[in-house]
């Protein structure tokens, strides 16, 4: 999936965050002036801006830019969309797969736009539950299909590396609107994504 690279960093934000990262490194007991760490505050400041760029992007605009009139009215599924996000409680990554389905109601959307909607919401401080709802509502409210379904399966670093240290647990969240609220439609979707 082609993505525009994120090269334009806000210099003021980069400088402010850089200064704070330098202090955090010192507070954690490191020598912020040793060679390997010299440029780390700036790199980390840029990485964090990249990972939270979703605040400055509009998922509705992305979907509306590629909606097409079409009479196809069977289920459309995009599964195994890669997900990388940051848990808002620990600012640690959670990552996994997103499965999306919708049943058109006069319009279809360019398939590459669905992973972009995922990225826009994922590149913010998140909880998996809200991320699921936001993706679901955005597609459902913008495309106005007969139904929308979203399933997210993710592993959370804050569980794996700290806290309960459950290294093989995954968290599954799901949301359904319209036709997918009917058990048989929902089951067909879950079967097609292998659940």
Catalytic residues: 87-90, 128, 156, 158
Residues binding Zn ion: number (CB under 5 A): 4
CA atoms within 13 A on the CB side of 122: 19
Is 158 a binding residue for Zn ion by CB under 5 A? The answer is yes
Helix (H) / strand (E) containing 85: strand 76-87
Q: Which is nearer to Zn ion, 32 or 48 (CB)?
A: 48
The least CB distance from residue 162 to Zn ion, in Å, is: 9
The least CB distance from residue 170 to Zn ion, in Å, is: 14
Crossing angle of helices 11-27 and 40-51, in 10° steps, is: 120
Residue 12: burial class (beta carbons within 10 Å; 0-12, 13-18, 19+): exposed
In angstroms, the Cα distances linking 177 to 76, 185, 195 are: 14, 11, 18
Considering only residues 40 to 99 of the shown chain, the ones binding Zn ion according to CB under 5 A are: 87, 89-90
> Mask 115-154, x = binds Zn ion (CB under 5 A)?
----------------------------------------
The least CB distance from residue 161 to Zn ion, in Å, is: 10
> Given phi > 0 = left and psi -120 to 50 = alpha, else beta, which region is 80?
left
Q: Do 105 and 146 contact (CB within 8 A), yes or no?
A: yes
Residue showing the smallest CB distance to Zn ion in the complex: 158
Is 182 a binding residue for Zn ion by CB under 5 A? The answer is no
Taking each continuous run of H as one helix and of E as one strand, the counts in the chain are 7, 7
Q: Which is nearer to Zn ion, 18 or 90 (CB)?
A: 90
Q: Which is nearer to Zn ion, 62 or 83 (CB)?
A: 83
Question: What are the residues binding Zn ion (CB under 5 A)?
Answer: 87, 89-90, 158
């Amino acid at each position: 999936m082609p993505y525009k690279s994120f090269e334009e960093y806000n210099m003021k934000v980069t400088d402010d965050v850089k200064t704070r990262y330098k202090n955090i490194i010192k507070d954690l007991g490191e020598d912020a002036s040793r060679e390997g760490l010299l440029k780390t505050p700036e790199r980390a400041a840029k990485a964090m801006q990249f990972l939270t760029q979703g605040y400055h992007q509009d998922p509705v605009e992305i979907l509306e830019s590629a909606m097409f009139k079409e009479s196809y009215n069977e289920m459309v599924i995009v599964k195994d969309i890669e997900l990388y996000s940051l848990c808002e409680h620990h600012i640690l990554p959670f990552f996994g797969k997103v499965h999306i389905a919708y049943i058109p109601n006069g319009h279809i959307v360019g398939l590459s736009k669905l992973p972009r909607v995922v990225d826009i919401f994922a590149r913010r401080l998140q909880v998996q539950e809200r991320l699921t709802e936001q993706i679901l509502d955005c597609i459902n409210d913008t495309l106005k299909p007969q139904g929308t379904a979203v399933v997210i399966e993710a592993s959370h670093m804050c569980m794996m590396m700290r806290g309960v240290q459950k290294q093989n647990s995954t968290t599954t969240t799901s949301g359904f609107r319209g036709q997918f609220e009917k058990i048989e439609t929902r089951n067909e979707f879950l079967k097609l994504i292998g659940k």
